[in-house]
């Protein structure tokens, strides 16, 4: 950033006074077109601009009433008064997880708390999101190889960076690979719980772990103790979620995805181009529009995780469920569906393709690359939008 840019930037960017109190008010990001391009600010629940559109980009306010904004090609952190908690001097600030955010400058990673303070005492080549009080971190050794370990919420190395590979913690356990050694399961302190003598071992989830006996071999599942519970037979295997796992048995470019239970029984036959976990015991099942050319697109049906198909293949997209609702699109509209795959007519449908989300007192729609906020009756912000009630 040049001195002239810094001078302009300091003239209109407020910094938080020591006596400032963060307002517990819900604000929504919104954009306007200006002579200098699209700028972002924030509105309240009535569509009134509260923080003027001066940012190059604006993120959602999180539960801590903090938001990541971008200005002059740098990220900063503001509160609901518009005061900077962290100056916009970072190449990237990742969203907060467990009260901590990863910040990046010149490919170097650090951890920031919600006061804008950098907690890490040195820079890392990678830091992931916090899960169960631990963040996966990595640095390069003298041969240029990544070594992985874990940081606690204060940015301290509580598990040394000594593993060839590592995964996020799940229910207090994580799979790591010892340098020039086997895969092992560790606890939050780094204590080795079990050792696995296999070519590859994936993420721990719900007591089961996908594995390969030999390099480039097929996937099966072992339990926490390392006993094989589902023999290798899959060309792809996802972690178990809600007692079910998505697998693929295809040997060529035509996918054959299915859904299995913890015994390896197929609940949805492995004949589909795609299966996507949606949460709340629902999956989207995708079928190629042109089976001989699957890359030309798919149509999706909604199914439950017991294998019951709830709709036909009528949707272009289905989003994850949240509080009983998911966004679905067809060739014309974007709308909410319920657990049965039926359109929820208590909410409007919007012309175009995108995603809807209930955002506190409003509904947010990102439709055809435009942002809209509305209630159940009319568009509040974002210009004219055709609503179908």
Residues 272, 149: Cα–Cα separation, whole Å: 38
**Between these two residues, 50 and 388, which has the higher pLDDT value?**
50
Residue 307 lies in a domain: no
Residues 78, 93: Cα–Cα separation, whole Å: 12
Average pLDDT, the chain: 92
Confidence category of residue 363, pLDDT binned at 50, 70, 90: very high
Q: What is the mean pLDDT of residues 197-212?
A: 98
Backbone φ and ψ for 317, nearest 5 degrees, come out as: -145, 155
Residue 47 lies in a domain: yes
- pLDDT tens-digit map of 317-356: 999 999 999 999 999 999 999 999 999 999 989 999 999 9
Q: What is the dihedral of CA 286, 292, 294, 300, to 10 degrees?
A: -20
Residue 170 lies in a domain: no
Q: Could you tell me which residues come within 8 angstroms of residue 308 by beta carbon, excluding any fewer than 6 positions away?
A: none
- pLDDT tens-digit map of 51-67: 999 999 999 998 889 99
pLDDT surpassing 50 at residue 5: no
| C-alpha distances out from residue 156 to 119, 152, 176, 192, 388, Å | 8, 6, 19, 20, 53
pLDDT surpassing 90 at residue 47: no
pLDDT at 379: 66
Lowest-confidence range among 10-19, 183-192, 272-281? 10-19
- pLDDT tens-digit map of 215-274: 999 999 999 999 999 999 999 999 999 999 999 999 998 999 999 999 999 999 999 999
Confidence category of residue 20, pLDDT binned at 50, 70, 90: low
Lowest-confidence range among 1-10, 291-300, 336-345? 1-10
Q: What is the mean pLDDT of residues 4-20?
A: 50
pLDDT surpassing 80 at residue 385: no
Lowest-confidence range among 6-15, 152-161, 283-292, 325-334? 6-15
Residue 135 lies in a domain: no
Eight-class DSSP state of 10 = H
Confidence category of residue 12, pLDDT binned at 50, 70, 90: very low
Please tell me the total count of domains within the chain: 1
Burial 316-329 (b: 16+ CB within 10 A, else e): bbbbebeeebbbbb
Residues 254, 288: Cα–Cα separation, whole Å: 9
Residue 2 lies in a domain: yes
Q: Could you tell me which residues come within 8 angstroms of residue 356 by beta carbon, excluding any fewer than 6 positions away?
A: 327, 334, 335, 336, 347, 350, 363, 364, 365
Percent of the chain with pLDDT over 70: 90
pLDDT surpassing 90 at residue 386: no
Residue 5 lies in a domain: yes
Structural domain boundaries, residue 28: 1-90
Residue 12 lies in a domain: yes
Confidence category of residue 382, pLDDT binned at 50, 70, 90: low
Q: Which helix (H) or strand (E) holds 9?
A: helix 3-12
pLDDT at 13: 57
Residue 53 lies in a domain: yes
């Amino acid at each position: 950033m040049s001195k002239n840019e810094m001078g302009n930037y300091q003239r209109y960017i407020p910094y938080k006074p020591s006596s400032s109190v963060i307002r517990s008010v819900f604000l929504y990001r919104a954009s306007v077109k200006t002579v200098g391009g699209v700028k972002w600010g924030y509105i309240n629940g009535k569509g009134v601009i509260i923080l003027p559109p001066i940012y190059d980009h604006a993120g959602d306010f999180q539960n801590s009433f903090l938001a990541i904004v971008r200005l002059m090609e740098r990220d900063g952190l503001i509160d609901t008064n518009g005061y900077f908690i962290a100056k916009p001097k970072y190449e990237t600030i990742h969203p907060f997880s467990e009260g901590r955010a990863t910040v990046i400058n010149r490919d170097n990673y650090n951890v920031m708390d919600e006061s804008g303070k950098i907690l890490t005492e040195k820079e890392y080549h990678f830091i992931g999101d916090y899960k169960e009080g631990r963040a996966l971190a990595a640095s390069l050794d003298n041969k240029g190889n990544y070594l992985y370990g874990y940081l606690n919420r204060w940015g301290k190395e509580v598990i040394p960076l000594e593993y060839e590979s590592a995964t996020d913690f799940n229910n207090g356990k994580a799979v790591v690979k010892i340098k020039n050694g086997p895969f092992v399961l560790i606890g939050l302190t780094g204590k080795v719980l079990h050792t696995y003598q296999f070519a590859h071992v994936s993420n721990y989830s719900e007591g089961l772990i996908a594995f390969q006996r030999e390099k480039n071999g097929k996937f099966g599942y072992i339990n926490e103790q390392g006993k094989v519970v589902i023999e290798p037979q899959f060309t792809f295997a996802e972690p178990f979620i809600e007692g079910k796992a998505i697998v693929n048995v295809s040997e060529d470019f035509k996918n054959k995805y299915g859904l299995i239970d913890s015994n390896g029984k197929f609940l949805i036959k492995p004949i589909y181009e795609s299966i996507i976990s949606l949460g709340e015991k629902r999956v989207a099942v995708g079928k190629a529009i042109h089976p001989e050319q699957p890359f030309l697109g798919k149509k999706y049906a909604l199914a439950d995780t017991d294998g019951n198909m709830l709709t036909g293949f009528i949707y272009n997209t289905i989003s994850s469920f949240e509080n009983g609702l998911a966004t679905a699109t067809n060739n014309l509209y974007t709308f909410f569906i319920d657990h049965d795959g039926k359109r929820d007519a208590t909410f409007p449908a919007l012309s175009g393709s995108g995603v809807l989300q209930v955002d506190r007192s409003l509904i947010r729609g990102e439709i055809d690359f435009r942002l809209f906020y509305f209630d159940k009756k009319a568009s509040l912000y974002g210009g004219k939008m055709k609503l179908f009630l």
